[in-house]
Structures are given as structure tokens and as C-alpha cells.
Amino acid sequence: MRRRSTANRTTKYSGARRNFTKRCIRAAGTAPSGANLQPWHFGAVSDPVVKQQIRIAAEKEEKEFYAQRAPKAWLEALAPLGTDSNEPFLEIAPWLIAVFAQPFRILTDGSRSPTYYAIESVGIATGILVTAVHSCGLVSLTHTPSPMGFLNWILGRPSYEKPFVLLVVGHPAENALVPDIGRKAVEKISSFVTAGDSKRLTDD
């Protein structure tokens, strides 16, 4: 997994076949979920016209984000990544996968029934999706313009579904670049409780 390369916003993409995308979504669908209700939907888009619509809508939200909505601290955190509201990758990439969370489901009688741990479940499924994309030799960019309600009407999804993330997928171009960023050491992100530690923790 250390070899996994997540593309950045300047990456140029080359084509990716539909069957690869379908396999990745199938893998994501194997994720565990609350009560096994599988509260997700994956909208895969390769149509250039629809990708252009998504780009236009996303850039509109991002322009407002960078100009008005984003707190100063957030902009400072983003600065090393070189991000802005210009998002040509949304049209260049061969596939966009919009991931939706379903906070409830519609029963056969038309009534609504809640799902459980929908966001957590969709988060796990998205992680599997990103890993599957990498395993196919593709690269991805997780994109979250806010708000993302435009994805519902562009893709014809019900209003109750919550857009979770927009995954940009394709083969990396020969001149593709990824951010030169580090990762926290495992010692910084983990703790281990092994045999004998429980007594020490209790005594403390």
C-alpha cells in the first residue's frame, strides 16, 4: 500500500475500461455495513457531457468556498497542496464515481425505514473502492466540493441520498505528478495494548 499513488488535481488521466470500474464498485459493495443494509449507491460517469456538467457545478461551489466560505485556517492547511477552484480533471478523467450514502431505505409499501451507521458503512466501502482502484493499476483523487447536492440532480438520484465523495479515476499519464507529502509514522497514529498492559492501565 505504500506504493499507492493518489492523484492530485494537476494529474492528467488516460482511459480506463468500464469493466475495471465495475470490478472496483463490486469490491466496494462487499464492505460490511450496519445490519447489512448496504446503504450506498455508486454513480459511475464516463459521459463527457455529464462530466462537464459536474465540473461546472463543482467549480461554482469551489469558487464560493475559496472566496467566501473557507476559514483562514482551512485555506492555510490547503496551501501546501496547491488546490484551487479550477478543476479540469473532472472532465479529463475517464471516470467519475459519485458515492452516495442512504440514511434510510424505501420499503415496498412506500414507507421509509432507517439504515444504521450509514456514514460509517459508506466510509468503509469508499476505502475498499479506493484500494480496489489502486489494485487495478489505476489512480484516484477523492474530491469533496461542498455542498455536493448538485450530484443528486445531475445524476438523477433521490434527494434523500447524501453525496459522500466524488472519486476521480483513471490511469496516470506519463507525466503525472503527485503531491510530495509525508505520512505520520505508525508510532504517531497507533497505540497497542498487549498482555500485561491491562494491569498497568488499571493501576494508573
Extract the C-alpha cell encoding 171.
490511469
pLDDT digits 0-9 by tens, 116-158:
999 999 999 999 999 999 998 889 999 999 899 999 999 999 9
Among the listed residues 88, 13, 20, 99, the one whose alpha carbon sits nearest the alpha carbon of residue 54:
88
For the beta carbon of residue 23, count every other beta carbon within 10 angstroms.
15
The C-alpha cell 480496489 sits at: 132
The rounded mean pLDDT for the chain is: 89
Distance CA 11, CA 92 (A): 9
CA quadruple 105, 121, 95, 147: dihedral sign: positive
Q: Within its chain, how far is the Cα of 177 from the centroid?
A: 19
What is the chain's Cα-based Rg? 19
In this predicted structure, which of 11-15, 76-80, 83-87 has the lowest mean pLDDT?
11-15
pLDDT digits 0-9 by tens, 91-106:
999 999 999 999 999 9
172: preceding bond cis by omega (within 30 degrees):
no
Question: Which phi and psi (to 5°) does residue 100 adopt?
Answer: -115, 140
Among the listed residues 86, 87, 119, the one whose alpha carbon sits nearest the alpha carbon of residue 102:
119
pLDDT band at 82 (very low <50, low <70, confident <90, very high): confident
- Which pLDDT does position 1 carry in this prediction? 43
For the beta carbon of residue 160, count every other beta carbon within 10 angstroms.
14
Higher pLDDT, 170 or 27: 27
Extract the C-alpha cell encoding 132.
480496489
- Mean pLDDT across the stretch 173-177? 75
pLDDT band at 10 (very low <50, low <70, confident <90, very high): very low
Which class would CATH give 13-203? alpha beta
DSSP output for 52-64: HHHHHHHHHHHHH
Distance CA 52, CA 57 (A): 9
User: Which of 133-158 are b and which e, b meaning 16 or more Cβ less than 10 Å from the residue's Cβ?
Assistant: bbebebbbbebebeebebbbebbebe
- Helix, strand, coil tally for the chain in percent (to 5): 40, 20, 40
Contact 20, 100 (CB under 8 A): no
pLDDT digits 0-9 by tens, 177-196:
777 788 999 999 999 988 87
